Structure 1
């Protein structure tokens, strides 16, 4: 799946059942369900989930908490538009170029 296909899946009721937790959290974030996205990201101990967790707190404006999660993810604090960060995370998690 590439980013375009992932975006197209947002018309569904839930992410694909085989989606890894960080990707599922990113999917729920794009659907506007921050709480569901946060629960999923928080319950996964991977660095990928920490990156999504950082993104979620940055998107809500909690920059202090976001900074903690960026450090846990070993990622620099993002400073561009949150939409661009979502795309970057999705592309990385999917292992595909942004389209």
Structure 2
């Protein structure tokens, strides 16, 4: 079974942090790590967010949360 990245982002956009986090937490693929990182940014846990961005091979971006959510959604849509 694989992570439903689109669903995780929809949950995040709807403000359902716990549900989105629970969905991505078991997975270690790049997109799940990026979503996980974003969720920790939303939570205000920058240290944990940086960890998950590193797991995805990226550094934490200097964009807004709204911009990051859009970036992730666009990237995942492009992969579909």
| TM-score normalised per structure 1 | 0.73
CA RMSD, 1 decimal: 1.3
Counterpart check, 1:82 vs 2:57: no
> Which 5+ residue runs of structure 1 have no aligned equivalent?
1-19
Which consecutive aligned stretches of 4+ in structure 1 deviate over 3 angstroms post-superposition?
Answer: none
Structure 1 SS opposite 2:60: coil
TM-score, normalised via structure 2 length: 0.89
Q: Greater RCO between the two (CA within 8 Å, min separation 6)? A: 1
Gaps of 5+ in 2: none
Q: How many residues are treated as equivalent by the alignment? A: 77
Deviation at 1:21, TM superposition (A): 1.7
Offset of residue 45 of structure 1: 2.0
